[in-house]
Structure 1
Amino acid sequence: MDDGRVATPATERYAKKKETILAAATAILNRQGVKGMTLADVAAKVGLITTSVTYYYRKKDDLAAACFMRGLERFDALVTEADRAPDRRGRLLKFLELYLDLNRRVRLGEAAPLTSFTEMRALKEPLRASVQGAFADLFRRVRRFFEGPDFEHLDKRERNARTHLLLEQMFWAGSWLRRYDVDDYGRVRDKMYDILVNGLAPPNEKGESRDWAPAALPDPTPQSPDGQEWRETFLVAATRLINQRGYRGASVEEISAQLNVTKGSFYHHHEDKDALVVECFERTFAVTRKAQADARALGQDGWEQVAAATAALVEYQLSEHGPLLRASSMGALPIEIRHEMSQGYNRGSERFAAIISDGVAERSVRAVDPMIAAHMINSMLNAAASLGAWVPGVERDEAARLFARPLLMGLFTK
């Protein structure tokens, strides 16, 4: 034991049972959020009565906070091992390799579920501050991947943006890795690494990097039906609150208060909260679809199209009509609705993959795996919704350069 005491069968049983509870709670937390998780559900999953769980964790928030802290400890261990690599490329490759191996062991039932950190802010104080402080410590450790002589051209804001981008690529990979057999993880690692290091843009005729100058696209905000301009305001406010609090953390009362309407007025326009979340997702899909279609309509090569669409969508996240609804909100929806929304999200990925595939064929995009690249773009776009938390004061007109460019041009590109 860390404190020097000799482990006994009793302490070993205690530690083992605590780990079992944490694993069960993490699975429920990932699916139902902080508000949706109950001690009774966790107890039932591990074959205990609720009072037995309270012997280890007195309150639900204590258990949720412990799940977040354990998840951070596991990621911190990956960073510690990756940090031993001799150079920047080695650190990045090792980080990817370790994460994918951990994800593989989770899928095979050899390791406890990985923790989703999307609902940290749903914790009550002082637990929230404690967990967020630990997350900030992890963030600073990963930021060291972008420090040293090789990165003197980056200022702190640029390092923060790239750190946020890299971490979110890891966090969100779990949502699309299940499309692949665990036997294919080695190839996935290599393709992800190639994109993170080299981006999508091929060098120009002189062997130099292409310029980052994405074309401006029209505003992709969906047009409200005549006389229903209020609906856009309603959906934007609801999206912001759900992104902040999580699906279960954003109550009808809070949504109504944000909009300065009564609960009765809310239910006049929406059958229930599920119906509102579906409409927020449909709006998100419509914005993404419009940006992709407008990029296609440019009539330029695949690189110009993917750069224009991603830049427009990153900027949209920081606009008065943003952000878009984060994909994590799908996890708490009823299974039949979740499947439908997942299909809508996948169609957006497939459109990006089609643009990239066309670009590869005409050699305006490097020979990357189009579907993996599309998943990584969607991960980046999801993460852009919280870019302001890591790059305080970031302006809309600089967001794409800070956040989309490093993925499309490579994390190590000047």
Structure 2
Amino acid sequence: MRQPDGKKTGTEKFHKRRETIVRAAVEVMNRRGVRGMTLADVARRLDLVAPAVMYYFKSKEELAATVYYRSIERYEQLIATAQDAGTAREALEIFVRAWFEFSAAVTTGEADPIAGFNDIRALPDPGLGEAFIRMFRSLRALLEKPGMPTDLDRVDYNARTLFVLSQLAWSVVWTPRYHVDDYGRLAAHTLDILENGILPSGKSWRPRSLQVTPVETDKTSAARETFLQAATLLVNERGYLGASVQKISEHLNLTKGSFYHHLENKDDLIVACFQRTLDILQRTLKESGNSANNGAEHLLVACNALTEYQLSGKAPLLRTLALTSVPEEIGSRLLSEFDRNSGRISLVLTDGIADGSLRPVDTSIGAQMITAMINAAAEVHQWAPGVTQQNVAKIHVRPMFEGLMRSG
């Protein structure tokens, strides 16, 4: 309510400034994660001092929780647009198109961006976890509508819900490469793959086995691999800023001096961790293609091997979303490396389309979706209890190839 002279009330000013702080915090959190964000960082974006932000939020944890609650609320609003749909296919289309419309609005400045959920577990707020689970269940309810295969159980539905969420989260990385006017087409191509997969109808699911093995073999390299595995686990769990040299050393029951025997500094460690992940991805793609009869078999074998490796009990692959919190000079270079890997997947997709073993799909988007699928495999067992190394391919990978609407 405004005063007769047109001036804003104190309450209005308070809420306006609070919203401005939340928007600035989203930018910082998406760049540095919860652990890397400080109230001073947020204040600097607004030409304020930290105490000015503390007037509205007593701690960075309170501010971060507010940001995440807003993100969850936005997802709930997008999900609600599809709640009245009669079938799962119709609901999925409405929801995914609503997401890309929202992404376009963010790009043009017509809507506020939201934070990714990378570090949501870093906050000691039980209400936040409960809110996220409610949102997850709301999305799952869309997939449980009529039209889905009748042989799916709760594990399948949870895994497919995570699959959709992971694809939307990763789309934030690749959609900015396109013109905002084309976001509607991006939604259509994404939906085509989500619903129908990349295998032609009737194509049999018979991937052969491939063992993913570390590159290192000698004792010195094996010790370095141990450090990289420990660091990878901590970076995936805590982000770049939360995985300190001290924490990594404690995880291995070693001294910091032992760490520096193998690596000079933390940034070298992060680069080495990402290089380890890239080496595994590239080597697996190469080996799966050595004896493949066509593009489909090439991708099937590689994707199955990589997702099974994620649940093998060894250190999983480093989550690509961890790139959002590394120093910019490192992150941009590593993102380029991951782009090259996606480019390789795109080429295999093109080969498969040419030889008839794969459906004609957008290969660039398909490659990004496969990247997101491989990444999400590391946490699918947390959201779908019952997923193991033995069945993760059937439950998590198969929907990528056959589509969400086909039987599991």
Give the TM-score taking structure 1 as reference length: 0.93
Which residue pairs with 1:256 in the alignment? 249
**CA distances 1:265-299 after superposition (whole Å, capped 9, x unpaired):** 21222222111111110010011011100121123
Instruction: Tell me if structure 2 keeps the 8 A contact 1:122–1:246.
Output: no
**2:209 alignment partner, one of 216, 226, 236:** 216
Say if 2:150 is the partner of 1:150.
no
Instruction: Tell me if structure 1 keeps the 8 A contact 2:89–2:147.
Output: no
The SS at the match of 2:243 is coil
**CA distances 1:36-62 after superposition (whole Å, capped 9, x unpaired):** 111111112123332221121100111
Which residue pairs with 2:5 in the alignment? none
Say if 2:20 is the partner of 1:20.
yes
Which residue pairs with 2:115 in the alignment? 115
**CA distances 1:158-208 after superposition (whole Å, capped 9, x unpaired):** 1100000011111111011111111111111110000001100012xxxxx
Which residue pairs with 1:10 in the alignment? 10
**1:358 alignment partner, one of 351, 357, 381:** 351
Which residue pairs with 1:379 in the alignment? 372
Q: Give, in whole Å, the separation in 1 of the partners of 2:190 and 2:20.
A: 32
Alignment of 1:105-254 (within 5 A): 105-123=105-123, 125=124, 127=125, 129-151=126-148, 152-203=150-201, 209-254=202-247
Q: Give, in whole Å, the separation in 2 of the partners of 1:68 and 1:228.
A: 41
Q: Name which of structure 1's ranges 143-152 and 211-220 shifts more when overlaid on structure 2.
A: 143-152
Which residue pairs with 1:206 in the alignment? none
Q: Give, as a single letter, the amino acid of the residue that structure 1 aligns with 2:43.
A: A
- Consecutive unaligned residues of structure 2, counting only runs of 5 or more, are 2-7
Which residue pairs with 1:303 in the alignment? 296
Which residue pairs with 1:5 in the alignment? none
Q: Give, in whole Å, the separation in 2 of the partners of 1:148 and 1:337.
A: 44
Aligned positions, number = 400
Superposition deviation, residue 336 in structure 1: 2.0
**CA distances 1:200-240 after superposition (whole Å, capped 9, x unpaired):** 0012xxxxx22211111132422344543222222112111
**CA distances 1:100-126 after superposition (whole Å, capped 9, x unpaired):** 111111112222222111011222x2x
Superposition deviation, residue 74 in structure 1: 0.6
**CA distances 1:240-279 after superposition (whole Å, capped 9, x unpaired):** 1110111111222111101111112212222221111111
Q: Give, in whole Å, the separation in 1 of the partners of 2:136 and 2:399.
A: 18
- Consecutive unaligned residues of structure 1, counting only runs of 5 or more, are 2-7, 204-208
Identity %: 41
Q: Give, as a single letter, the amino acid of the residue that structure 2 aligns with 1:257.
A: E
Q: Name which of structure 1's ranges 76-85 and 146-155 shifts more when overlaid on structure 2.
A: 146-155
Q: Give, as a single letter, the amino acid of the residue that structure 1 aligns with 2:137.
A: R
Q: Give, in whole Å, the separation in 1 of the partners of 2:23 and 2:356.
A: 46
Which residue pairs with 2:387 in the alignment? 394
Q: Name which of structure 1's ranges 10-19 and 93-102 shifts more when overlaid on structure 2.
A: 10-19
Instruction: Tell me if structure 2 keeps the 8 A contact 1:28–1:42.
Output: yes
Which residue pairs with 1:266 in the alignment? 259
Superposition deviation, residue 18 in structure 1: 1.4
The SS at the match of 1:228 is helix
Q: Give, as a single letter, the amino acid of the residue that structure 2 aligns with 1:69.
A: Y
Superposition deviation, residue 148 in structure 1: 4.0
Q: Name which of structure 1's ranges 143-152 and 365-374 shifts more when overlaid on structure 2.
A: 143-152
